[in-house]
């Protein structure tokens, strides 16, 4: 009864006037959190607008958090790139602020749901560029996973990788970030 009014970590955040939502948190090739927005997608949906942030830890593999932010994605995916988001300095300021806000969410979420104190483990963060991951539903594990998929791969790479995991031909840890940021090319 005492925990009845305990406030849960909110996956919907507002940073520098832009709305974003954390859709996934992973570590060691395992899904630790799936956001409400992701759970509402149709299971055949592939979400290609997610962005990746790695949280390096003192020991063990990094945590990876994935989020959507329509304003930011449209700006950096457009031909003008960061110029349409206020230029490179404003873009870096935003990426840093987003990473800090998501880091705070990650720490609270893991503490509340899994009783993991990640706040003492995280030592730095690194924000990846656009077009490195696609959120896909993996029916064999009953969860959404941030599949590595970059511009150098074909348009159907996410579908092929998700199908390979579902069929048991590859492990999930082979197609998601485990030790470092997803490759951008």
| Spatial CB neighbours of 23, under 8 Å, sequence gap ≥ 6 | 11, 34, 35, 37, 38, 47, 50, 66, 67, 68, 135, 144
Instruction: Tell me if 116 sits within 8 A of 144, measured CB to CB.
Output: no
pTM above 0.85, yes or no: yes
Is 51:67 a contact under the CB 8 Å cutoff? Answer: yes
Return the structure tokens found at 54: 């790695």
Q: Say how far apart CA 58 and CA 133 lie, in whole Å.
A: 25
The first and second tokens of residue 44, run together, are 């055949």
- What is the number of other CB atoms lying within 10 angstroms of the CB of residue 87? 12
Domain range summary for the chain, segments of one domain joined by +? 2-174
In angstroms, the CA 89 to CA 156 distance is: 34
pLDDT of residue 23: 97
pLDDT for res 3: 47
pLDDT in tens, the chain (185 residues): 444 444 556 899 999 999 999 999 999 999 999 999 999 999 999 999 999 999 999 988 999 999 999 999 988 887 777 777 788 888 889 999 999 999 999 999 999 999 999 999 999 999 888 788 999 999 999 999 999 988 888 889 999 999 999 999 999 999 998 888 887 76
Q: Tell me the C-alpha to C-alpha distance, in Å, between residue 83 and each of 52, 74, 156, 175.
A: 20, 12, 29, 32
Q: SS3 for 137?
A: strand
């Amino acid at each position: 009864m005492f925990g009845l009014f305990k406030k849960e970590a909110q996956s919907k955040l507002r940073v520098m006037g832009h709305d974003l939502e954390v859709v996934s948190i992973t570590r060691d090739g395992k899904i630790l959190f799936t956001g409400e927005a992701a759970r509402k997608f149709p299971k055949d949906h592939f979400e290609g607008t997610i962005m990746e942030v790695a949280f390096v830890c003192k020991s063990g593999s990094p945590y990876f958090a994935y989020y959507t932010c329509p304003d930011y994605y449209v700006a950096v995916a457009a031909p003008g790139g960061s110029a349409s988001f206020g230029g490179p300095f404003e873009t870096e300021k935003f990426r840093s602020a987003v990473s800090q806000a998501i880091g705070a969410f990650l720490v609270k979420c893991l503490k509340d749901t899994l009783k993991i104190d990640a706040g003492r483990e995280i030592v730095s963060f690194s924000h990846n560029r656009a077009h490195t991951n696609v959120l896909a539903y993996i029916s064999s594990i009953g969860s959404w996973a941030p599949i590595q998929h970059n511009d150098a791969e074909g348009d159907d790479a996410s579908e092929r990788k998700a199908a390979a995991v579902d069929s048991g031909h590859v492990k999930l840890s082979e197609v998601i970030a485990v030790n470092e940021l997803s490759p951008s090319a």
